[in-house]
């Protein structure tokens, strides 16, 4: 489970209760554009890998049928790339950040290709559609609500950390029941995070609108990439947890 939603953007955010202007709307549109680009890249990579046995052979050991060394690298590399983008936001150029984001999308798609081999296509499509519906509803809620969701941020991040710890523990316990219950919490946490992140991005856009002269164009573009990454992670996690609950295996 990938996640790194707690970016240090607060110092660049300005809360504006009035409707944001053109610059803010362009920023928001850019965030969603890059999120959809990332989802498209990941989907194409997953479908390509799932239908290319010769490519999958590089990721699986021919002797044991388990992940090869390259397979483990591909599976865990996205986590490293997320940490790199988050920690290196101020140091990486826009081109480097964008390239890392695209590479992350490709590798995540390759990792997700295994679910197409495990779960029935109908389940994958159904859970993807359900995740899109939940994500869209919470995105609208986060953008339009007048309730300040900032106070829920620390609680949600504790929930995410708890999910990570529980996932590690269950790697040893291998309890299907525990995994099933944990998946419901996962859906709830990332559903709430979607609304929280969208509102946070709205505030960042308002901050750019208010301080446009003091914010470089590349900085604004980099914040849009990081915003897209945040929403991408919310969507993917909702989808994966739904699949663990409702997905039918082949």
Share of the chain above pLDDT 70, in %: 88
Q: What is the pLDDT along the chain (250 residues), one digit of tens a residue?
A: 544 444 444 444 444 444 446 878 889 999 999 999 999 999 999 999 999 888 888 888 766 767 888 888 888 899 999 999 988 888 899 999 999 999 999 999 999 998 988 999 999 999 999 999 999 999 999 999 999 999 999 999 999 999 999 998 988 888 889 999 999 999 999 999 999 999 999 998 888 877 765 566 778 899 999 999 999 999 999 999 999 999 888 7
Q: Quick: pLDDT tens for 138-189.
A: 999 999 999 999 999 999 999 999 999 999 898 888 888 999 999 999 999 9
Question: Rounded distance, CA 134 to CA 39, Å?
Answer: 16
Question: Rounded distance, CA 65 to CA 218, Å?
Answer: 45
Give me the pLDDT at residue 99, please.
95
CA Rg, the chain, in Å? Answer: 19
Give the residue among 241, 214, 164, 187 at the shortest CA–CA distance from 6: 164
Name every residue whose Cβ is closer than 8 Å to that of residue 198 and which is 6 or more positions away in sequence.
Answer: 138, 139, 141, 142, 143, 231
Q: CB neighbours (10 Å) of residue 213? A: 5
Give me the pLDDT at residue 25, please.
86
Q: Say if residues 149 and 199 touch (Cβ distance below 8 Å).
A: yes
Q: Show the tokens assigned to 111.
A: 């990792």
Give me the pLDDT at residue 6, please.
45
Query: What are the sequence ranges of the domains in the chain?
Result: 19-246
Widest CA span of the chain, in angstroms?
Answer: 62
pTM for this structure?
0.86
Give the residue among 8, 9, 23, 10 at the shortest CA–CA distance from 210: 23
What's 2's DSSP letter? -
Give me the pLDDT at residue 72, please.
87
């Amino acid at each position: 489970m990938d996640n790194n939603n707690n970016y240090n953007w607060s110092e660049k955010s300005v809360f504006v209760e009035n409707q944001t202007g053109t610059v803010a709307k362009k920023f928001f549109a850019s965030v969603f554009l890059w999120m959809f680009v990332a989802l498209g890249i990941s989907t194409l990579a997953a479908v390509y890998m799932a239908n290319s046995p010769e490519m999958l052979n590089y990721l699986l050991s021919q002797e044991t049928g388990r992940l090869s060394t390259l397979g483990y690298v591909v599976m865990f590399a996205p986590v490293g790339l997320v940490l790199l983008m988050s920690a290196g936001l101020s140091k990486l150029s826009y081109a480097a950040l964008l390239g890392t984001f695209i590479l992350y999308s490709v590798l995540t798609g390759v990792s997700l290709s295994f679910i197409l081999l495990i779960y029935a296509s109908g389940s994958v499509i159904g859970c993807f559609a359900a995740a899109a519906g939940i994500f869209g509803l919470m995105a609208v809620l986060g953008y339009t609500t007048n309730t300040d969701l900032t106070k829920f941020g620390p609680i949600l991040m504790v929930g995410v950390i708890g999910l990570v710890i529980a996932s590690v523990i269950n790697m040893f316990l291998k309890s299907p029941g525990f995994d099933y219950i944990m998946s419901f919490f996962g859906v709830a946490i990332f559903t709430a995070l979607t609304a929280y992140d969208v509102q946070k991005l709205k505030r960042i856009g308002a901050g750019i609108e208010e301080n446009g002269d003091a914010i470089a164009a590349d900085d604004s573009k980099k914040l849009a990439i990081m915003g897209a990454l945040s929403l991408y992670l919310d969507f993917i996690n909702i989808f994966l947890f739904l699949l663990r609950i409702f997905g039918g295996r082949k």
